[in-house]
């Protein structure tokens, strides 16, 4: 409630040409590696009078915060249940099979793995209430298979450590593990025969109007996302068309 009062005061004081104030944006842990720094740089260059508060959280926590008005905007996974929010398509990310470079669960010299091969390894995945896990479960189930050997970890940092310790493999977009993949510590392979992808959307509350500053940040998030995809800086991601 206090945040909404502060936002209302800010909306009265600011102009359309020069938005100012504080905007809280929630980003999932698995997205921040691709989007956070480019967005912060763009905000400073384009809207120096806006203070951007970035919150890195699990998806389930972001949904709760967005509903309550604790954050103005959130990047969420479009799992077909975003109807409570005003949502705009952002990007579709391909999910890959990722292991330690010399892992016992690796695919040798193969350039891809099948879904059946991928789920034979112990898979380190987030819990069912968060992120990509429901999407993976649905795809596996649709192929008449099941995930029988899952290690649930809801922290990107701990997930990285578990993969590097060769406790198992994962199925994720490359963004949260990009630095390890670029250094050669991990290997990411496409999953053949099945389209494994997740869709991200930028969401706002339908009940709490955006301030001028929040609307400006909303537009900038979409512009930065499109630019990253167009220049190939958001690997294995494709910008989505919007109305």
Q: Cα(first)–Cα(last) distance of the chain, in Å?
A: 33
| β-bridge partners, 54 | 25
Which pLDDT value is given to residue 129? 72
Counting residues of the chain whose pLDDT is more than 90, the rounded percentage is: 74
CA separation, residue 174 to residues 34, 96, 194 (Å): 9, 7, 17
The pLDDT-based confidence of 58 (bands split at 50, 70, 90) is confident
| C-beta of residue 85 within 8 angstroms of C-beta of residue 206 | yes
pLDDT, one tens digit per residue, over 31-42 is 998 999 999 999
Structure tokens at 77: 């996974």
| C-beta of residue 74 within 8 angstroms of C-beta of residue 65 | yes
Whole-model pTM above 0.75?
yes
Which pLDDT value is given to residue 8? 58
pLDDT, one tens digit per residue, over 178-234 is 899 999 999 999 999 878 899 999 999 999 999 999 999 999 999 999 999 999 999
Provide CATH code, domain 2-92+199-239. 3.40.190.10
| β-bridge partners, 91 | 200, 239
Give CA–CA dist 23/210, Å, rounded: 10
CATH 3.40.190.10 domain extents, the chain: 2-92+199-239, 96-195
CA separation, residue 49 to residues 46, 61, 108 (Å): 9, 28, 52
Give CA–CA dist 135/34, Å, rounded: 20
Q: Which positions ≥6 away from 161 have C-beta within 8 Å? A: none
Centroid of chain to Cα 104? 28
CA separation, residue 10 to residues 52, 86, 221 (Å): 14, 22, 21
96-195, superfamily in CATH?
Periplasmic binding protein-like II (3.40.190.10)
């Amino acid at each position: 409630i206090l945040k909404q009062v502060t936002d209302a005061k800010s909306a009265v004081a600011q102009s359309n040409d020069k938005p100012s104030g504080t905007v809280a944006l929630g980003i999932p842990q698995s997205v921040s590696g691709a989007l956070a720094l480019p967005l912060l740089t763009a905000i400073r260059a384009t809207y120096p009078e806006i203070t951007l508060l970035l919150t890195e959280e699990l998806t389930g926590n972001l949904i709760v915060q967005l509903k309550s008005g604790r954050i103005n905007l959130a990047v969420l996974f479009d799992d077909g249940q975003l109807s409570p929010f005003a949502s705009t398509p952002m990007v579709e990310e391909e999910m890959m099979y990722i292991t330690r470079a010399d892992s016992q669960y690796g695919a040798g010299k193969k350039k891809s793995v099948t879904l059946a091969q991928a789920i034979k390894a112990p898979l380190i995945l987030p819990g069912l209430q968060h992120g990509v896990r429901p999407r993976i479960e649905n795809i596996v189930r649709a192929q008449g298979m099941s995930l029988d050997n899952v290690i649930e970890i809801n922290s990107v940092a701990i997930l990285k450590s578990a993969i590097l310790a060769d406790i198992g493999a994962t199925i994720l977009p490359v963004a949260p593990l990009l630095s390890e993949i670029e250094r050669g510590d991990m290997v990411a392979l496409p999953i053949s025969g099945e389209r494994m992808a997740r869709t991200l959307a930028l969401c706002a509350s339908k009940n709490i109007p955006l301030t001028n500053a929040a609307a400006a940040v909303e537009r900038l998030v979409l512009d930065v996302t499109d630019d990253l995809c167009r220049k190939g800086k958001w690997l294995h991601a494709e910008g989505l068309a919007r109305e």
